Chain A
Amino acid sequence: MGKGFLTYSTTVILRAVANGHLYGFDIIDITGLPGGTVYPALRRLEEAGHLASKWEKPHIAQSQLRPARKYYELTRAGRDALTEAVRRYRLLEQTQLHKAREPKPSRA
C-alpha cells in the first residue's frame, strides 16, 4: 500500500485496532467485514508501517492448550493516518448528511 490515503474499510479496520480490538477475529466481529478483507488489509497496513504485530505471551496460550495469537498495535504513523482518514471521511459524511437533511414527505 502506498503512503496515500486509506480506503474506507481500511480506515474502519485501523480504527477498530485503535479502539482496542487487537486480534484479527475481534476486528472481524466488531467491523462485520469478512476475513478475506480484514486479513489482507492488516498485512498491508503492517507493511505500510501503520500497524505493528506481536505474538501473545506463550504462557497464556499454553495454559489454554492452543497456539499463541498474534495481535496488532497502532504505530505513530498509523495514528496520524487514522486521524487524517477520519477527518476526510467525516467531511464525506457531512456532505451526505447535508443531502439527507432535505425535507422528506411526512406521513404525519
Chain B
Amino acid sequence: MRLLTLCSRIFTRPHLRLIALVGLIVPRRLRADWRQEWEAELRYRELLLAEWDKLDWRHKLELVRRSIGAFWDALLLQPRRLEDEMFQDLHYGLRMMLKNRGFTLIAVFTLALGIGANTAIFSVVNAVLLRPLPLDKPDELVLVWENSLAKGWKQFSVAPPNFADWREQNHVFEQLAAFRSSSFNLTGDDQPTVLAGARVSSNLFNLLRVQTLAGRVFTAEDDQLGKNHVAVISEGLWQRRFGGRHDVLGKGLSLDGEIYMVVGVLPAKVTFPSRPDVWIPIAFSSEELSNQRRGAHGIGVIGRMKPGVTLERAQEEMSAIAVRLGTQYPASNKGWGITLVSMMDSVVGSGVRRALWVLLGAVVLVLLIACVNVANLLLARSAARGREVAIRSALGASRLRLIRQLLMESAMLSLVGGALGLLIAVSSVGLVRTMGPALNLPRYRDVQVNPTMLAFTLGVSLLAGILFGLAPAYQTTRIDVNDALKEGGQSGGAKRQRLRGLLVVSEVALSLVLLVGAGLLIQSFVRLQRVDPGFDSHNVLTLQVSLPQAKYRDAAQQTNFFRELLGRLRSLPGVEAAAGSNFVPISSSDEEFHFTVEGRPSLAPGQAPSATYYCVTPDYFRVLQIPVRKGRPIGEQDRDGRPRVIVINETMARRFFPNEDPIGQRLRLGRDSRIVREIVGVVADVKHYGLDDAEFSQVYEPFFQMPEPRLTLALRTRVPPATLAAAVRAEVNAIDKDQPVAFVRTLEEAVALSTAQPKFRTVLQGMFAGLSLLLATIGIYGVTAYAVTQRTREIGMRMALGAQPGDVLWLMLRRGMLLALSGVVLGLAGAFALSRVLKALLFEVEVHDPLTFVSMAVLLYAVALAACWIPARRATRVDPLAALKHE
C-alpha cells in the first residue's frame, strides 16, 4: 500500500521530482536558485497547459523531456563545485600556514631540503644516465675491445689486423670503425698549441650518422696512406682558430709539422672518441695490418649493430670470431677474447652509474625522513586542531571533505617547500656544472635546469604532500565529535601517540640505513687516502712534450732536445730535480709488454707474463721519490752504447724471483725482444691508474737507451709547483719556438682527480646521512617533548603523591628509548639488506663491516637518547602545584 502511494507520488508530476533529484548534484551554493529556476519554468508551463491530471500523455511527456535538460545543465555546473571548494580550502590553508608561522617555517624548510636534494640528484641522474646520447639510435652503438681475462684485462685495445678480420667476418654489425686518440702539435701563425685529436677510419662519421656543418666527411679514398693528409675539425676549433669562416675549407693545418687540408667541420655535439678538435684518417699501412702485428694492440673499435641485433647476440658472434682467430694465430691470439660495451656504458662507466643510483636512493630516503618528520609535526598539531575539526564536522562537514581540506594544507606546505627546494636544486646544478671537470663526472655539461627537472620537482612535491599529509588527515578526522568537544581537543591521544611512535621508529630506521651507508663509504675513502701510492706527489709539476717526427726524425735529435731541456729545467730557480718518463702516474693509459726471463723455459704462446713499461731518464726515482729497495736506480751512465739495463718493481721481484736475487738476472722485453737487459735495481710499487689499483709487475728502462719522441717531464720543486708553469714553457720555446707544451699540472692534481669521484659521493652521502640524523633527532625530541606537555598534569599528580625525579625521568625516557631501540634494530636489518648495493663502490671495506654497523647504531642511539633526555629532564622540574592548578 505504501509502495503504491510512493509510486503514485513519483508518477504525479514526475518532472518536478526529477528536478528535486537532479538538484542534489548541483553545487550546494547554487542549488536553491537552480531548483527554483527549473521548477518555476516547469510549473509555469504546466499552468499554461492545464492541471496535471487533465493533461494528455503527449504534453506530460513533453514536460518530462524538458526536465531531463536540467540534468545536462546540472552536469555542466560540476566544475564550479570543485573550484568553489578548492578555493575555500586554499584560502583556509593559507590562513592556517600564516597563523602557525613557526610550524610552517620548520615544515617548509625540512621539505625544501628533502625536495631540493632529490631534484638536484635527479637532474644529475637524468642528464648522465637517463638522457640518450645525442646521436642517432645510440643504443645500436657499441665499443669493441679485446680482453685477456687470464691477465685481468677486461677491456684492452685492439690490434689492427684483428680489427680487419672482425670487419670481414661478422654479421652483426652494420659497420665497424677504428679510432686512436692522440694529440697533435698545432703550429702556424699563433702560439704553438697541443690539440686533442684522433685518427679514425673514414667510415666513422657515417657510422655515427653525423652531418658536417660545412664541407664533407672522409671518403674511403682519404683512408689510404699518402692520401690521408686531410682533416675534419670541430666546431670549437673552427670558431676559435678560424672565426667560423666558411673559407676554412681547403686551408692547411700544420699538425706535428705536416700539412693537413681541412675538408669539413663537425658540430659541437660530436665528441667521439674523446672530445677531439681534429680528426684525421687512420690509414693503416700494410705492415700494420700484417699477421706479425696481431700482438700490437693500440686502437679502439666502435660498431653500429644492425637493427634488431641485441648486445648478447653480437657478443656471441664476436666471441666465436675471437676463438677462431685464436686457433688460427695461436702465437698472438690465444687467450684473447672480445668484450662488447654499449656506448652509453662506456661513456658513463659502471662506477658512476652505481654511485648515482645509490645517491638517488639516499636522497629518496632523506625525503622520506623529511616527510615522516612533517607528518609528525602535523600529528602534534592535529591534537590542537581536534576541537576545530570536531566543530566543523558537527556543523555538517563530511569526513571526506575534511580530509581533502587537510590534504590541501599539506600539499600547500610541500609546494612551498618544493619551490624553495627548486632554488636549492638550481644552485646545485650550477655547482655541478662548474665542478664537473674536477669531479671527473661524465656528461656534466648536460646537467641543466630543464622542464623535466621542473616536472620532477612538482611531482615529488605533490607526492610528498600526500605522503606526509595522509596519515595525519586520517588520524585527525577519526574522532568522536562528542568526546572531542567535551575534552577540549585532547581526545584520540593514545592512538595519535601510537602513530607518532611508529613514525619515529621508521624515521630512526631509515636514518640508520643512511648512516651505515655513509659510514661504509667514509671508511672506504679513508682507506683509499691512506694508500701509499709509492711516490710523493707533493711539489711535483708534470707536463708533456711531444716532438713532431717530421722535424725530429732520428733518435739522436730527440735525445739531444730532451737532454738540453732537462738541463735547462734543472737550472731553473726553485727546481730541485728534473726527469722524464713515457707515463707518469696517476694516468688513464699505459703500455704493457710481454717479457721472458733468460734461462727459463719459454712459455706457451699467450701465456708469457707482462709488465707495465716505463721508459725513464736518470733522476726519475728521485723526482717522484720512489724508494729504491735493492741495487741501483737508472743513472747517467745508462746511455746509448752502454750495457742494456732495466729496473723492476717489488711485485715483479716477488712474483718471478721469489727465492733468488733478481739483481743480475736478464730479461727479454716485448718492445724489442732481440735485446737482453740486465736487472740492476728493484724499486717500490707505484699505483699507476689510481690509488685502488691492484699490484702489477712494472719495469723501468733507461730513456736514453730507448728514446721516444714523446716525454712526460716531472720537476721536483722547492716552490709551489704551479708557479713554474710559465718558466717551463719559456724554456721549451727557447729551444724550439714552435714546440708546444701539453697537460701542465701538478702531480697532486692528478692524484686528487683520481679520487674526486669517491670523495664526491662520500661527501654527499655523509651530508645526507647527517641531515637524516638531524631530522630523526628532531622527530624523537618532538615526540618526547609532546608527551611531556600532554602528561604534565599526570606528572604533577605523581610527584605530589611522592614520585622522585628519577622515577619521572625514567617514565618519560622509557618510551623514547624504546622507540629509538626498535628503530635501530629495524634500521640494522635494513642496512644489512641494502648495504650490498655499495659493494662495487667500497675499497677494502666489507659491505657488512661490523665496526661500521655497530658504531653507527651506537651513534644514532646516543643522539636519540640525548634528544629524549632534554624534554624528560624538563618533566622532572614540573611543579606539582602549578600542574594541578593548571586544569
Write the residues of chain A forming the contact surface with B, with a CB cutoff of 8 angstroms: 23-25, 28, 34-40, 43, 56, 61, 64, 66-70
Contacts and interface: CB of A to CB of B under 8 A. Distances in A.
Given A28-B66, A43-B77, A67 B40 contact: yes
Contacts of B67: 35
Interface string B149-181: 000000000000000000000000000000000
Interface string B297-332: 000000000000000000000000000000000000
Contacts of A23: 41, 44
A13 B40 CA distance: 20
A40 B76 contact: yes
A24 B36 CA distance: 12
A25 B41 contact: yes
B69 interface: yes
B40 A69 contact: yes
Contacts of B36: 67-68, 70
B45 interface: yes
B590 interface: no
B66 A25 contact: yes
Given A25-B45, A40-B76, A64-B47, A34 B40 contact: no
B715 to A, nearest CB: 75
B25 to A, nearest CB: 14
Given A66-B43, A69-B37, A38 B69 contact: yes
Nearest to B74: A39
B72 A35 contact: yes
Interface string B44-77: 1101000000000000000000111111110011
B69 A39 contact: yes
Query: Is chain A's binding surface mostly helix, strand, loop or mixed?
Result: helix
A56 B33 CA distance: 13
> Looking at chain B, what size class is its interface with the partner chain?
20 to 34
A39 B70 contact: yes
B708 interface: no
Contacts of A56: 40
A68 B69 CA distance: 20
Contacts of A35: 66-70, 72-73
A66 B13 CA distance: 14
Nearest to B76: A40
B39 interface: yes
A4 B603 CA distance: 89
A91 to B, nearest CB: 30
A107 B28 CA distance: 63
Contacts of B37: 24, 69-70
Contacts of A68: 36, 40
A61 B76 contact: no
Contacts of A61: 40
Nearest to A56: B40
Given A40-B72, A66-B47, 12 more contacts: A25-B41, A25-B66, A28-B66, A28-B69, A35-B69, A35-B70, A36-B71, A36-B72, A43-B73, A56-B40, A61-B40, A64-B44
Contact of B69 (A34, A69, A70): A34
A107 B9 CA distance: 60
Nearest to A38: B69
B40 to A, nearest CB: 4
A11 to B, nearest CB: 19
Nearest to A36: B72
A40 B39 CA distance: 16
A64 B45 CA distance: 12
A67 to B, nearest CB: 4
Contact of A66 (B40, B68, B72): B40
A67 B41 CA distance: 9
A64 B66 CA distance: 21
Contacts of B76: 40, 43
Contacts of A34: 69, 72
Contact of A69 (B41, B66, B71, B77): B41
